[in-house]
Structure 1
Amino acid sequence: MEDTTWEQKFTALTHILTNPTTNPSLHSQYFIANQIPCYLNWDFPPLLCPKYQNNPTFNLKWSFSLFLKRLRAPPISWRSKCPYSQPPPLILGKGVEEAKWDDESKRLYFRKRLFRKKLVSEVNPLIPILVPNVLLVWVLFWGPIPLDDP
């Protein structure tokens, strides 16, 4: 995005906001490809990018990066850890049980969430205060900077 002007970014954003669709037309794809640069981490092929039309190695790099992306496990978002969200997440996070919608299981899930261990540090609160102060006093008494220059 470094080699695009603010006007190009603004027109591309305006086009995306005024034409919301999951299946953009070829004209729309070509317009966006001319407005903003293409990168390797995009999901659609860089065939319409004018910058890379004469560079066949870029298409090979893009296809290889897409292949590597498909080999990895899909990323887990915060929604994957919320089994009771609507619509339910496609992939549940590790350690999260599938949502059970009967009343008793919802009550048990709520109790388990209510009485779980809090996210609190187990460190004594004096340690973060004492350790830096003791180090500071030690450095002051050690005297790394000589006061008397002969």
Structure 2
Amino acid sequence: MEDTTWVQKFEALTHILTNPTRNPSLHSQFFISTQIPCYLNWDYPPLLCPKYQHPSFHLRWIFSLFLKRVSIFGTPTTSWRSKCPYIQPPPLILAKGVKEAKWDDEGKRQYMRERVSRKRIQSDVNPLIPVLVPNLFLLSFLLWNPFPEYDS
């Protein structure tokens, strides 16, 4: 990114935001590869990158893409947009456990009732435990010396 101008960055970002897709067309991939440099961790293939034409780079990219897909067991990756069914435009892939948006009035009411009735995010740990455990640990150092060779 160091060797690109702000105009190139702006054009690439505008293109990505106006054409959100999980499978970009060849034209889109070529445009992005000419605007900004390619990296190993991108989903865009380095075949179109003028900077990386060495075959070993292509093999490393294929291997890294394979490892990335194996690590998530082939399921598509989701982002914060995938967890919000009521945004416009709707997400391409809904996250697991998220229901599709119902735009009628009753569907919106039901969604809000579910959101309001959810359990609060809090831990189920007794509040005495975070206080007692460190204090008992420090008290044990008063009663027991773990380093007797350093006694003065």
Q: TM-score, normalised by structure 2?
A: 0.70
Superposed counterparts of 1:55-94, under 5 Å: 55-66=54-65, 72-94=74-96
Unaligned runs of 5+ in 1: 1-7
Kindly indicate whether residue 109 of structure 2 is the aligned counterpart of residue 110 of structure 1.
no
| Residue in 1 that maps onto 2:39 | 39
Residue number among 139, 142, 148 corresponding to 1:140 in the alignment? 142
C-alpha contact (below 8 Å) 2:9/2:36 kept by paired residues: no
Quote how far apart the aligned CAs of 1:61 are: 2.7
Task: Classify 1:66/1:141 alpha carbon distance in 2 versus 1 (closer, same or farther; 3 Å).
Answer: closer
For residue 8 of structure 2, the aligned residue among 9, 16, 21 is 16
1:30–1:141 Cα change, 3 Å: same
RMSD: 3.1
Measure how far apart 1:148 and its partner are: 4.7
User: Which residue identity is paired with 2:125?
Assistant: V
Whole-Å Cα distance in 1 between the matches of residues 29 and 83 of structure 2? 35
**1:5 aligned partner:** none
Cα deviations by residue, 1:12-47 (Å, 9 ceiling, x for unpaired): 1413245445367979845744xxxx4322313255
- In 1, the alpha carbon distance for the partners of 2:66 and 2:75 equals 12
TM-score by length of 1: 0.70
State the Cα distance separating 1:73 from its structure 2 match: 2.0
Alpha carbons 2:8, 2:35 under 8 Å: kept: no
Report the AA paired with residue 41 of structure 2: N
> Which residue of the partner structure matches residue 4 of structure 1?
none
- Unpaired runs of at least 5, structure 2: 16-26
Larger deviation: 40-49 or 62-71? 62-71
**CA distance 1:132–1:77, change in 2 (3 Å):** same
Contact 2:9 2:35 in 1 (8 A): no
Larger radius of gyration: 1
**Secondary structure at 1:131 match in 2:** helix
Q: Compute the displacement of 1:59 (Å).
A: 1.9
In 1, are the aligned partners of 2:33 and 2:48 still within 8 Å (CA)? no
